[in-house]
Homo-oligomer: A and B are copies of this chain.
């Protein structure tokens, strides 16, 4: 991978006498970087039709070059690529960037596969095709073919693209254009990038490869990813989790609404969307999620600039009430703590500023509103005071420069006390005047993130807390293969008996039950304690309650007989295969949960736990995790939100042990991992009460045997999906 970023030599294939051709633009940029002393690699032009391009020699083929280039930039049409790649790989070229499109994205996947084989044979890595390639602001390697100016009708040239600045944020993107505009946005804020890497169709080099590279790169402080999708979710999680331990990884995932075509055999399957799985995976491996383009930029800036924290206690300091209230609303919405300072701190503040006229009107809650009458000097001293209180971890400073008392040197004076505090602090400079622009730049130059709205200032602080917390927990699920059952002989709903055996082998208990297949053979009932529940068994009826196939509270054996006859008639009338009736001891009241598992083409086995019963889909209070789930991780899924409240015994309702349930969730997740033939699986309800966890009704669907069946639409990049 290093050959992409720090090659000794680069050759560009497709350089032409037409300066507007991609190859010509790239070659010109590289030469310019050489002449500036930025690029140390030797640069060569390749084109069989020319012997010179401007002042430079042009070579007909890789073999004709004075040396074997370490990196080859391919900007020739698709038709000419295969022989070029073949000769380059055979000659010992280490890395190739394929800029041009016209491959898998227009249905020519076979050409890509051929190139991948050729490259792999000779150990050459390939980035692209169909990409902007890469810009390394440190080494000067640059395959960006966009022009930096355009010509107006008047003949005048206008700057159409801001050149990326050198910096510490690595941008990895599955859309070249997005990578460029993110870098441009950063540049307009005076912030640089370590590199931009567009992975294009990912013939060989994937987003995961690039994450791994920057994880180990000294000059990279933050990895920002624009993600359409991943092919190998587990690899992504491993790479990301390992990177997150070293530096923050921020991901903006798009294509949220393009759901995979998963067969909805269980409640679980209808609840679990692609995007929800990505979110669960991000949470598990400690990736910070950005929800908009704006957040990706804002979060990258604050993660690059600010010291680490995991504290949530925010103080908001302002001289204008309105923006303070907006900030407090937003902070509460996203879960930061906005508590007023303690009385001792307030008393000490009043003592320090005794006699200052602003104090009489100031509101010393949180937001701390020093009012429009505060002077620059008082504002700076007050900020210093509150920043240094041990009761706050993070701070948002809102210096409204419109107030008459605030001098234009406010940013530089505030910067000093902010930097000295050692805490993560953001500012919002609200306004669009030249003074506002100046203050914003001054803050950014001192590495204090500044934003044009209070909401952004708050969001950029919250992300520090998120990263601080997620870094500790970041891990990728292992793949265990401890034990396995054999694939059942036929695909589809597994017989109830085999489901019970499977659960039992993982220590998941079911209520005591017998299966009745004839109304004459009721001897087995003697082993049960009444009342019992009677359930129709039919492979055609996975959701028994939907069709009236469940009768609860049957009090004695004679009633069981009547129910049996009713259910067999029901099955007949509805043309359902009738396999008998399950007679099950009633479980004492408890928390009804749903425990489900599906397979995702990208991430493999995914486990869901949520509030159960027939309203599961309606309530939609559930948590996901990529399997296997450790008991610690299961606990994290269970303690928050509605599930957590229910388990703690909501409104006098039954309580259940979170510790014991975490164990069940973890065991359940191992079933999916260790029995790859399972396509979907669900326990609904699992009735939990104290330490008792009973799988009352369970369904297992076996698939075609591949561990990643059931989601034909997924695991592909958007570019493939839209074809």
**In the complex the two chains form, what is the Cα distance from A187 to B328 in whole Å?**
27
**In the complex the two chains form, what is the Cα distance from A330 to B402 in whole Å?**
35
Contact B254 A361 (CB under 8 A): no
Which B residues touch A185, using CB under 8 A?
A: 431-432
Q: Which residue in B150, B256, B432 is a CB contact (below 8 Å) of A184?
A: B432
Q: Which residue in B146, B256, B402 is a CB contact (below 8 Å) of A146?
A: B402
Task: Identify the closest chain B residue to A455 (Cβ).
Answer: B292
Contact B177 A320 (CB under 8 A): yes
Please tell me which stretch of A120-128, A213-221, A419-427, A645-653 contacts chain B, meaning at least 4 of its Cβ atoms lie within 8 angstroms of it: A645-653
Which B residues touch A363, using CB under 8 A?
A: 722
**Does A674 touch B at the CB level, under 8 Å?**
no
**Does A79 touch B at the CB level, under 8 Å?**
no
Q: Which residue in B402, B547, B650, B651 is a CB contact (below 8 Å) of A160?
A: B402
A-B contacts, 27 of them at CB < 8 A, read A20-B404, A105-B361, A147-B404, A158-B433, A158-B434, A158-B438, A159-B435, A160-B434, A160-B435, A161-B402, A161-B431, A161-B433, A174-B322, A175-B321, A175-B325, A177-B322, A177-B403, A185-B432, A188-B432, A254-B326, A293-B430, A293-B453, A547-B652, A614-B653, A615-B650, A618-B642, A619-B619
**7 tightest CB-CB pairs across the interface, nearest first?**
A175-B322, A188-B432, A178-B322, A160-B435, A257-B332, A177-B320, A254-B325
**Does A632 touch B at the CB level, under 8 Å?**
no
Contact A435 B323 (CB under 8 A): no
**In the complex the two chains form, what is the Cα distance from A184 to B403 in whole Å?**
15
**Does A3 touch B at the CB level, under 8 Å?**
no
Q: Which one of A150, A152, A545 has the greatest number of beta carbons of chain B within 10 Å?
A: A150
Give me 10 other A-B pairs in contact (C-beta within 8 A), A254-B325, A257-B332 excluded: A20-B404, A150-B407, A178-B322, A228-B322, A228-B325, A256-B329, A321-B718, A543-B651, A614-B650, A618-B645
**Does A590 touch B at the CB level, under 8 Å?**
no
**In the complex the two chains form, what is the Cα distance from A545 to B543 in whole Å?**
30
**Does A181 touch B at the CB level, under 8 Å?**
yes
8 A Cβ contacts from A167-220 to B? 173-175, 177-178, 180-181, 184-185, 187-188
**Does A401 touch B at the CB level, under 8 Å?**
yes
Contact A408 B257 (CB under 8 A): no
**Does A63 touch B at the CB level, under 8 Å?**
no
**Does A446 touch B at the CB level, under 8 Å?**
no
**Does A360 touch B at the CB level, under 8 Å?**
yes
Which B residues touch A160, using CB under 8 A?
A: 401-402, 408, 431, 433-436
**Does A496 touch B at the CB level, under 8 Å?**
no
**Does A236 touch B at the CB level, under 8 Å?**
no
Contact A360 B106 (CB under 8 A): yes
**Does A713 touch B at the CB level, under 8 Å?**
no
Which B residues touch A18, using CB under 8 A?
A: none
**Does A151 touch B at the CB level, under 8 Å?**
yes
